[in-house]
Structure 1
């Protein structure tokens, strides 16, 4: 429970520091990207803090390129 509280507190501090400056400079697209990335990062940090299994992005890369690798390797034999 303390892990979640700490992560949410850190995210709130980051938001209080960054968002007013983005709004003042009228950087709407950057504000959207910042907000989305902060939400994703906060969610992943909470999942990591709760010891939930988080898949590696490398698993997706392997799944995509493994069949291609097998075809090329088969032609080289």
Structure 2
């Protein structure tokens, strides 16, 4: 029951942000910004709902570690 209210609050906040931001972007004919705002708002909404449902979300730091760990090992090997 609590999860339902949490999801409803997240959707209400996302709708409020959309109502405040989208009309001004459309009035100024800023279509690229409109697309970016919509994509980021949807991404944030989906991630917030997933987190409220206690789903396992990937940690960005794990990807950064995976990418830079071989470089780090190479530098350490040069310094020893």
Residue 55 (structure 2) pairs with residue 33 (structure 1)? no
Q: Scaled by the length of structure 1, what TM-score is found? A: 0.93
Coordinate RMSD, CA, aligned: 0.8
Q: Which runs of 4+ in 1 moved over 6 A?
A: none
Normalised to the residue count of structure 2, the TM-score between the two structures is: 0.90
Q: CA deviation at 1:17?
A: 1.1
Q: How many residues align?
A: 77
Distance in 2, matches of 1:4 and 1:60, equals 28
Q: CA deviation at 1:48?
A: 1.0
Equivalent residues in 2 for 1:1-77, closer than 5 Å: 1-77=4-80
